[in-house]
Every structure is written in structure tokens, then in C-alpha cells.
Structure 1
Amino acid sequence: MEQPTPPQRALARGVTPPRRIELGDLLLRRWESTDFEAQFEALTASFDQLHAWMPWMAQAPSRDRQREFLAKATAGWPDPTGECAYGIFDSEGGLLGAIGLGDHLGPKALEIGYWCHSAHTGRGLITRSAAALTDIALALPDIGHVEIHCDAANTRSAAVPRRLGYRLDRVAPRERLAPADSGNGMVWVRDTPLNGV
């Protein structure tokens, strides 16, 4: 019996984004096991907002699920599922949200996903973080483009790629997996500049 071909990955072994990205008063860094309490508290405080749009937040946060997530996120870079997941922290170490690069779209593409602590929305934190991660991702060898996916009704999430010059590649029907989902997903794309322009 023929074995299935494993999915092609964009992040070759050793060719990955940095584990720390300093943005003045913001720090994006790889999750650490010591982030457990801050992460659990941020997700608990933001549950209503995240539950509306995020399929992975179908239920209130549990300590067991957060331990599983952190174990996976700290198991490798990228983690075993192809994710490079960062916490977004302020200059005093407070957790403001999360952002990451997903390596599941094929050999030349990466996806950015994000969420913001509900106490810190409307301050441009996700836009700044996504801008930095977009530039880093597009500078990696052999990456042709970066995508951001969101529900068509999620105007706050869609505002991020719009502000960053992503183009709306398509709006297509998709399964409704979260309470506020419209059943239509947006795919926003930023391509690698040609000839460094």
C-alpha cells in the first residue's frame, strides 16, 4: 500500500523566523512554559470576544487545554504542527495578545493568525505586530506570499490586512465553525516584492 505524501512545508528545517522580535514598546516572543498563567488569564478575560470568531475557543479556557497548547508551542520551532507562535508583550512583560505564522498552505506560503486581549483592542497592537511578522515572513527564503484568513463579517480582523496593503484575493463560502461566522471567508494576500522593490 502506498504511503500518503506528507504535506509540503514552507519553513525548511532551520529556515524560520526569529524567536524574538523587538518593536520598541512591544515584544513578540516565542511562548515559554512560564507564560501559562498570563496566557490563561488573557484568554479567560477575552473569552466572549474570541469565542465569537475563533473555532479553537468553542469552550471557556481550561487549564488542561492551555497546558497542552504550551507543551506543543514549546516542543519545537516551528512546533510539530508547523506553527511559530508568539505572545505579544508590553515593555513591562504584560501579555497583550498573540500572533503566529502557520506553515500549512504549501511550500511557498505562510499564514498569519492573531488575537488581542480584550482589554487592549483598538490600540493598533495587532496591526504593528502583523506588519513586522509580514515583513519577516516575506524575507524568508522561498516564501512567495503571506495570507491572512478571517470571516467576512469580522470587520476588526479584516481591517488589519487592509491597513497593511494586503489584497483581498477571494471571498468564498466556508463552514460556520464559530457563533459569529457568516459562512463566508476572506483570504487576504501579500506577495513577495519582485526584485526587492
Structure 2
Amino acid sequence: MRPPERIALGDILLRRWTRADVTPLHTAVIESFEILRPWMPWAAQRPDPVEQRTYVGTTISQWDADEAYIYGIFATDDGQLLGTIGLHDRVEPGGLEIGYWLHADHTGKGLATRAAEALTEAAFALPGIERVEIHCDEANTASAAIPQRLGYHLARTDSEKPEAPAETGRRMIWIKTRQRTTDREPRS
């Protein structure tokens, strides 16, 4: 069982990547490079279109192999790429990790929070998933605000070698369990 390939959230749509998304993805990464480079190890240098084509191909293969479920975040009115978010099978069994980034022009509008909330719900709809995690460096306060808003709890902070220029090497591990989700107060 997999999460849905499309998740409609009113003015935004989370949609599984297709090969047609390579050019919009490349454009979004280039336009957002200065805000991505400090936090994303994969943004150490500006990507070229070949790398983006490889990335999209990898996301398609990972989805088909049930290793990761990566979505583009698109505006429903004009189809513009706003960012990306995904469920990754890179934590202990019974859990998935959510990772995300937004185009520089679309940060601070609650889009990543809405998308992360939808993917948290999608993850818990999958059999065997009891825990969803969000990892971010301690200095990345914008990223850390998202799990806090969604009722995740800070389980621990691990010391790791920094992988991107702005990282401190203190990785916060935010966790939400299936029980915490079902007990949560409704959002107003």
C-alpha cells in the first residue's frame, strides 16, 4: 500500500514527480539556490539539468520500489512549482521521515506546514507506520517551527558532522507517533 499520488489541499497540490517536471524543478532550485545552499547538502553547488533529470528519475524509481514517496508542491491555479516534500524510508522500521524545501518566493506562507500535515496523515494511513519524524539542524529555526506547529515532540538532539554550510552539527529529531496523532486536539 502506498500513499496517494496526488493530495489536493485547496490552493496547492502535492503530486508525485513526473519526467515533465525536470525543467520546473531545475528553475526552482536555481531561483532558490541561495536559501537552499546553507541547509541542503545536495545544494553545495548549482545543479545542472542533467542532475535534475537524474533526481526526478530516482524519485520515480524510489516510489515504485516503496523506498520514498517524493512530491512536488504545485499551485493549483497556475501549476507553478512551489517546492518539494517527501516521505523517506530512512529511519527505524515502523517510521518514515518527512523532508521538505520551498521555492524562495513561497516561504513563510504556511505551505510547508500544510504539506507536512498532509503527509503526516498519509504516512499514518499506511500499514505498519507508527512514527513520523522530521529532522533538521538546530540552527534551522524555520524548518524546526513546522514540526512544533504540528504537535511533533523533540525526541532528541544528535551530534553529527555538519553536511551543509549553516549547520551546527546538532540535528533535532522531531517525532509524532500514531497515538499522539489520534489524541491531538483539533486545529482551529
- TM-score of the two chains, using structure 1 as the length reference: 0.88
Match for residue 111 of structure 1 among 97, 100, 105: 97
Aligned with 1:87: secondary structure? Answer: strand
Residues 85-142 of structure 1, C-alpha deviation per residue, up to 9 Å, x if partnerless? 0000001200000000001213200000000000111100000000010011112111
Contact 1:72 1:79 in 2 (8 A): no
Residue deviations 1:14-63 (CA, integer Å, cap 9, x gap)? x2111100111110000010011110000000101111000111111111
Q: 1:99 to 1:79 in 2, by over 3 A?
A: farther
Gaps of 5+ in 2: 184-188
**Which residue of 1 is the match for residue 186 of structure 2?**
none
TM-fit CA distance, 1:78: 4.5
Shift of 1:73: 1.4
What secondary structure is seen at the aligned counterpart in 2 of 1:99?
strand
Distance 1:45 1:195 in 2: 36
Aligned to 1:128: 114
Distance in 2 (alpha carbons) for counterparts of 1:195 and 1:103: 20
The 5 Å alignment of 1:159-170 reads 159-170=145-156
Contact 1:21 1:28 in 2 (8 A): yes
In 2: Cα distance, 1:71 partner to 1:166 partner: 31
The alpha-carbon distance between structure 1 residues 146 and 67, as it changes in their structure 2 partners (threshold 3 A), is same
Give the stretch that moved more between structures: 39-48 or 56-65: 56-65
* CA-CA distance at 1:77 after TM superposition: 2.0
Alignment match, 2:81: 95
Moved over 3 A (4+): 194-197
Partner Cα separation in structure 1 for residue 49 and residue 136 of structure 2? 27
Match of 2:175 in 1: 189
> Is 1:147 matched with 2:141?
no
- Using the size of structure 2 for normalisation, the TM-score is 0.92
Kindly provide the amino acid, as one letter, of the partner of residue 179 in structure 1.
Answer: P
The structure whose residues are more often helix, as a share, is: 2
User: What is the CA distance between 1:71 and its match in structure 2?
Assistant: 1.2
Equivalent residue for 2:36? Answer: 50
Residue 23 (1) aligns with residue 9 (2): yes
Q: CA deviation at 1:196?
A: 4.8
Which has the greater radius of gyration?
Answer: 1
Identical aligned pairs, as a percentage? 48
The count of aligned residue pairs is 182
Q: Distance in 2 between matches of 1:25 and 1:181?
A: 32
Q: Is the 8 A contact 1:47 1:61 kept in 2?
A: no
What is the SS of the residue equivalent to 2:70? strand
The root-mean-square deviation of aligned C-alpha atoms, in Å, is: 1.5
The range that moved more, 158-167 or 67-76, is 67-76
